[in-house]
DNA sequence: AGTGGCCGTGACAACGTTGTCACAATCATT
DNA sequence: AATGATTGTGACAACGTTGTCACGGCCACT
């Protein structure tokens, strides 16, 4: 492999001067600089990151510990956002994925391997919004938690603003004139669920509606991130036979919305025509395939990834947990019937 | 940061002996070895990958160039599989994602950055099965293409066996006794489409059915991997009013199956009851949420990732393009009505 | 007892880079 | 014209590790 000394020989100068050119040092004669640049091109020289790392004592690498991020389809955007921002700051990403069945020692080993790479910082990303127990060693270097929170460490964390998203989604339906809105709530074992219910209620209160008068029905049970079962059929049967059936349904997640579309189709009802539907998450395979197009609150995965990396690199992450707003994807399904 | 010399001082030996212990050299007195191990633990020593890299002239890092892999939800499993296998072989993964809007120079820069890291090998993964033009420089080091193929370079490549999957899916329906099967074909601009049609026809021929007697209708148009539109409603209208309507539908992808479920629901028909349905891809958000459960041919993303990494590390990748079989996910939807 | 081989250990150089210091040449200042 | 500052350049050490070589001590042979 061609080194800085080979370049120096070719450009007939000292290897130190070559180093200066590479690092953009101004105090180099333009003519010399040109000779050196030419030699670099001619020889196809590439700086050796290992040597640089040793001298400068920093790697310009950020570790990305992904807690099953690639398992759940849509959260991969966290990774994408982080990578975008890392690249914009001239950093590289070293990825280590931890699978569901992995124990605590596996995670510790992953951490250890990244430390051996002398990563300048560490992002720990979860597949879905939940609590995690982190290796305490993570506090040894600049670290940030994405899409999760930890009560055992004081690391800064970024999570989606579930409450606000629910509030905004509900406002959307209220603005269309709906006064009878049901919430098909997601898995009660998910941390997002109570927050989304709160947001739902907050919006109702704003509009002067008594929250307890609006039905909240659990439409998904099972293990979050694992095997889940949907109860949309029975929930809708219950709702539609009530004294005052809802004119709008807030679905706790896109999978529930998908089920709802099917139930409505079987009943000859059209979303956005006979019944307004708004959902959460914006899981592309679903939201991109449903017709009429689904109005959904998109999880800010990309944005969380970007922000997390930015905060990490700027070194000014606020301690504690920061909530990132969802973005609203307007489809046809929330329209008034 | 604590170095090998600090450990040596603490263990009262030479730093060379410490190096031997770290690298598992057998010719070290057990007592000394124990003293050194103890010192390593006590001081929290971690080998410096940069220094090792420089001496040994290899990084034990594999570059992963992802051509929008994290954009399309389900293909992230390629990354996951590659990481699993890399870890099993004591390698780390350096990730670089190229976004859709990025030009050729962006890709070349990504390659250059990975080369500066002195990666020992390179995986180039595509978000969906398609042709790519690769930077020719990739032939400078062991590289492998995953989920795509290149006609401009001779790099080994792994792709899903679309033809076989379609053949197997069709056999499944034939085994249930169906003799009138329609294929709702995916995007004609996708490379998978003609291969899946061929597999469909191969299975029909095996069963002694004239392929041209079975309808193949395009049910998805637009830009593959981008904005797509589905034509399932009209396709089904056409099929169900035909002289001999099909008793089974082969859906070219899960998104089409999702649409089909909706169309059938509106017509009061049940998949797996009134009409058999088999699909492709196993996009979890869809296949995991549909009821009755969808029988679908799962894209071998995880397996391709694992195999690609294994072939790369073993250094015996067969030249040319290798097809990897799908796996069959049996649900209820393919049952006989 | 003398010879050869093995075992455990250490001295030293080298990998490719950057930081520190120094030096000569040029320029601006007194 | 002498002095000081600046500019361009190079010599050298150092980062943390591993490969090469060599050395002393012990054992098993002749």
pLDDT in tens, B209-227: 999 999 999 999 999 878 8
pLDDT one-digit tens code per residue, A157-198: 999 999 999 999 999 999 999 999 999 999 999 999 999 999
Q: Inform me whether the pLDDT recorded for B70 exceeds 70.
A: no
Task: Identify, with chain letter, the residue nearest to nucleotide C18 (CA–C1').
Answer: A55
Tokens of B240: 């169900």
Residues of B in contact with A77 (CB under 8 A): 70
Nearest CA in chain B to A48: B116
> What integer pLDDT is reported at residue B97 of this predicted model?
92
Instruction: Flag if B95 and A83 touch (Cβ within 8 Å).
Output: yes
**Chain A: closest CA distance from residue B203 (Å):** 29
- Ranges of residues in chain A with a pLDDT under 50 are none
pLDDT attached to residue B72: 64
Nucleotide lying nearest to B48, CA to C1' measure: D16
Q: How far is the CA of B32 from the C1' of D24 (A)?
A: 18
- Per-residue pLDDT, B227: 84
pLDDT for res A75: 81
Q: Nearest-CA distance from B126 to chain A in Å?
A: 14
Name which of B77, B96, B259 is nearest A83 (Cβ-Cβ).
B96
**CB neighbourhood size of A71 (10 A):** 22
Respond yes or no on whether the N-terminal peptide bond of residue A292 is cis (omega within 30° of 0): yes
Question: Could you tell me how far CA B4 lies from the centroid of its own chain?
Answer: 41
Determine contact: A288 vs chain B, CB below 8 A. Answer: yes
Q: Rounded CA gap, B201 and B211, in Å?
A: 5
Go through the domains of chain B in sequence order and give each one's CATH number.
Answer: 4-47 (1.10.260.40), 61-161+302-325 (3.40.50.2300), 162-299 (3.40.50.2300)
Q: What SS3 string covers chain B?
A: CCCHHHHHHHHCCCHHHHHHHHCCCCCCCHHHHHHHHHHHHHHCCCCCHHHHHHHHCCCCEEEEEEECCCCCHHHHHHHHHHHHHHHHCCCEEEEEEECCCCCHHHHHHHHHHHHHCCCCEEEEEEEEEEECCCCHHHHHCCEEEEEEECCCCCCCEEEECHHHHHHHHHHHHHHCCCCCEEEEECCCCCCHHHHHHHHHHHHHHHCCCCHHHCCEEECEEECCCCCEEECHHHHHHHHHCCCCCCCEEEECCHHHHHHHHHHHHHCCCCECCCEEEEEEECCHHHHCCCCCCCEEEECCHHHHHHHHHHHHHHCCCCCCEEEECCEEECCCCCCCC
Nearest by CB to B285, from A1, A61, A286: name it. A286
Say yes or no for a CB contact (<8 Å) between B79 and A93: no
Q: Which residues, numbered 248 to 277 in chain B, qualify as contacts with chain A under a Cβ-Cβ cut-off of 8 Å?
A: 254-255, 258-259, 261-262, 265-266, 268
Cα angle vertex A104, ends A102, A108, to 5°?
105
Q: Which of the residue ranges A250-259, B3-12, B246-255 would you say has the lowest mean pLDDT? A: B3-12
The pLDDT mean for chain B works out to 93
Q: Is the pLDDT confidence value at B73 over 70?
A: no
Q: Which nucleotide is closest to A50, CA to C1'?
A: C16
Enter the tokens of residue A126. 């979860």
Q: Which pLDDT belongs to residue A22?
A: 92
The per-residue pLDDT for B105 is 87
Helix axis angle, B76-88 relative to B301-314, nearest 10°?
40
pLDDT in tens, B124-177: 999 999 999 888 889 989 999 999 999 999 899 999 999 999 999 999 999 999
Does position B114 have pLDDT exceeding 90, yes or no? yes
- CB-CB under 8 Å, A79 with B1: no
- Mean pLDDT calculated for residue range B297-301: 97
> How many angstroms separate the CA of residue B285 from the nearest CA in chain A?
7
| Shortest CA gap B261–chain A (Å) | 7
How far apart CA A160 and CA A164 sit, in angstroms, is 9
Q: In B, residues 99-128, which contact A (CB 8 Å cutoff)?
A: 99, 112-118
Distance measured from the CA of protein residue A29 to the C1' of nucleotide C30, in angstroms: 29
Residue of A nearest to B47 (CA): A116
* Cβ under 8 Å to A: B residues 29-58: 46-54, 57
Distance from C-alpha of B283 to C-alpha of B263, rounded to nearest angstrom: 19
What pLDDT is attached to residue B74? Answer: 74
* % of chain B residues with pLDDT over 90: 83
Contact criterion met (CB below 8 Å) for A176 and A233: no
Which positions on strand D lie below 7 Å from a protein C-beta? 7-12, 14-20
DSSP A57: S
């Amino acid at each position: 492999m061609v080194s800085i000394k080979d370049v120096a020989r070719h450009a007939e100068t000292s290897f130190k001067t070559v180093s200066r050119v590479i690092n953009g040092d101004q105090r180099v004669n333009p003519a010399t600089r040109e000779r050196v640049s030419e030699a670099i091109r001619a020889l196809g020289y590439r700086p050796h990151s290992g040597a640089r790392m040793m001298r400068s004592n920093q790697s310009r690498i950020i570790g990305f510990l992904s807690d099953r991020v690639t398992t759940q389809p849509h959260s991969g955007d966290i990774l994408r956002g982080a990578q975008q921002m890392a690249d914009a700051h001239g950093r590289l990403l070293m990825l280590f994925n931890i699978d569901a069945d992995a124990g605590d020692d596996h995670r510790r080993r992953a951490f250890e391997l990244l430390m051996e790479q002398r990563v300048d910082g560490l992002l720990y990303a979860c597949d879905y919004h939940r609590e995690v127990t982190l290796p305490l060693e993570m506090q040894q270097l600049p670290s940030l938690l994405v899409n999760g929170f930890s009560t055992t460490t004081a690391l800064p964390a970024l999570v989606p603003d579930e409450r606000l998203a629910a509030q905004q989604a509900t406002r959307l339906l209220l603005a269309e004139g709906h006064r009878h809105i049901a919430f098909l709530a997601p898995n009660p074992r998910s941390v997002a669920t109570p927050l989304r219910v709160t947001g739902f209620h907050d919006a109702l209160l704003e509009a002067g509606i008594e929250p307890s008068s609006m039905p909240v029905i659990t439409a998904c049970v099972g293990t979050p991130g694992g095997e889940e079962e949907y109860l949309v059929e029975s929930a809708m049967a219950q709702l539609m036979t009530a004294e005052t059936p809802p004119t709008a349904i807030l679905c706790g997640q896109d999978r529930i919305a998908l089920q709802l579309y099917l139930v409505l189709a079987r009943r000859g009802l059209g979303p956005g025509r006979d019944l307004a539907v708004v959902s959460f998450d914006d899981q592309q395979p679903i939201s991109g395939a449903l017709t009429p197009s689904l109005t959904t609150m998109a999880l800010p995965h990309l944005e969380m990834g970007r922000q997390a990396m930015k905060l990490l690199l700027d070194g000014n992450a606020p301690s504690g947990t920061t909530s990132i707003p969802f973005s609203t994807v307007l489809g046809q399904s929330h329209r008034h019937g």
